Amino acid sequence: MAEHMPTHHRFVSEWSSGKFIAWTAQIGPHCKTYIIGILDKKQHPEQSYKSCLGILHLAKKVGDQRLENACKRALDYGAYNYNMVEHILRNGWDDIEENPGEHIEVPNHDNIRGGDYYK
């Protein structure tokens, strides 16, 4: 029956959750977790295939490492959609290192009031 389908329809009919998850193996664990999250968000995983395909195709534009970093950042945000990953990549947020344990000290000088001033 597939041989009677147009080429594009044959391509789409080959999509599956397993295929997208297997594709993430070459990118990284955060990407895999993110794609699984997208697939799990919809009642019918087929509804999320275009988002998954779009995200995975971003690797061709920006490379596997940047996509992996963007997926890690999107996981931290808890936002599971193509637009979030694309936005992170477009704004370069995938390159920003975050060290939550690192505290930045504010310089001490006369025109900084501090927390006690407002009590």
Specify the higher pLDDT residue, 4 or 81: 81
pLDDT digits over 30-50, tens only? Answer: 999 999 999 888 777 777 888
Give the phi and the psi of residue 30 in degrees, each rounded to 5. -70, -40
**Do residues 4 and 33 lie in contact, with contact meaning Cβ atoms separated by under 8 Å?**
no
- The pLDDT assigned to 69 comes to 96
Residue with the two structure tokens 């999509």: 15
> How far is it, in rounded angstroms, from Cα 92 to Cα 103?
23
pTM of the model: 0.69
| Residue boundaries of the structural domains of the chain | 24-96
- The pLDDT assigned to 17 comes to 77
Give the pLDDT mean for 14-34.
87
**Kind and range of the H or E run holding 74:** helix 64-77
**Do residues 8 and 53 lie in contact, with contact meaning Cβ atoms separated by under 8 Å?**
no
pLDDT digits over 69-99, tens only? Answer: 999 999 999 989 999 999 999 999 998 766 5
Specify the higher pLDDT residue, 17 or 1: 17
